[in-house]
Structure 1
Amino acid sequence: MNKIFKRALIPNLMAASLMGVSLFPAQPASADEYILQDTAIGAGAGIVSGAIRGRGNVIRNAAKGAAAGAAVNAVHGTRRQPKNRQYRNIGQDIGVGAAAGAAAGAILNGGRDTAGSAVDGAAAGAAINILTNGKRR
């Protein structure tokens, strides 16, 4: 009975407990629900920018753009005044996107074409600002 219990029941209990535990963290951890939107816009802009420049592959360009989009969202959420959190700053979005794109490009490309990665990130930051009309809904 002991071997049957160990082999049949314990794995099922562990699987059920892991499923129950993993469902709770699936809820958003922060109050910022726009991170997926900004990340998706950044990934799309990274793909388009990389295709226009004719550099890199689609997945790397999407990863650089997504990193830029997430960074733009993260920096935007750190603004202190509610008015400044509601309206975006295009200069800040482009600068943060360029920095994050360069950092992601340095990691993904091994330090090659860092300026091009910064251009891809800046394009992602500009696209986020333009497509969201410079403000949050």
Structure 2
Amino acid sequence: MNKFLKRVFLPSLLATGIFSATFVPAKPAAADDKLLEDAGIGAAAGAVTGIITNNDSVFTNAINGAAAGAAVNAANSGRRNKRDRNLAQDVGVGAAGGTVAGTVTNRKGTLSNTINGAAAGAAINILRNNKK
């Protein structure tokens, strides 16, 4: 019985030890405590930009902006100084988030989705860099 236990359980224990030593210490990417605030800023910016570009409804533009705001938050969550943001990065990440959100929600007007996301990223950057 002792040999049987060694042959059956030792390889699985060894595999479990290697797996946990390799993958458990890796810290997953996570948003910070300002996620909902950034999503709200993005939603407001997306709604206003959607009215200006006359693209779809205010609700879907707000969803697009909120997704862009969440993407900008995730891109900046690892920074030590949260006020030290890069405007070009926030605009680019917001534009990408808005484009992807527009594709997922089946909206037409890829350029308008990109503009909504970029505006959300710019609004978050401006508001976050000015907060003391």
* Equivalent position SS for 2:65: helix
Q: Which residue of 1 aligns with 2:92?
A: 95
CA–CA separation in structure 2 for the residues paired with 1:64 and 1:48:
12
Report the equivalent of 1:37. 37
Separation in 1, partners of 2:130, 2:83: 6
Does the aligned pair in 1 maintain the 2:47–2:62 contact within 8 Å?
yes
Other-structure match for 1:115: 111
Q: How does 1:124-135 map to 2 (within 5 A)?
A: 124-132=120-128, 134=129
Cα contact 1:98–1:122 (8 A) shared by 2: yes
Pair 135,73 (structure 1): closer, same or farther in 2 beyond 3 Å:
farther
Map 1:1-137 onto structure 2 (within 5 A): 32-79=32-79, 82-83=80-81, 85-110=82-107, 112-132=108-128, 134=129, 137=132
Moved over 4 A (4+): none
AA aligned opposite 1:71? A
Note if contact 1:88-1:135 (Cα within 8 Å) is conserved in structure 2.
Answer: no
- The normalised TM-score by structure 2 is 0.71
Gaps of 5+ in 1: 1-29
Q: Percent identity at matched positions? A: 50
**2:75 and 2:55 mapped to 1: Cα distance?**
27
CA RMSD of aligned residues (A): 1.8
TM-score normalized with structure 1 length: 0.69
Q: CA deviation at 1:47?
A: 0.2
2: CA distance, partners of 1:75 / 1:128:
12
Q: d(CA) in 2 for partners of 1:125 and 1:64?
A: 11
What do the CA deviations read for 1:28-59 (whole angstroms, capped 9, x no partner)? xx682211110000000000000011111011
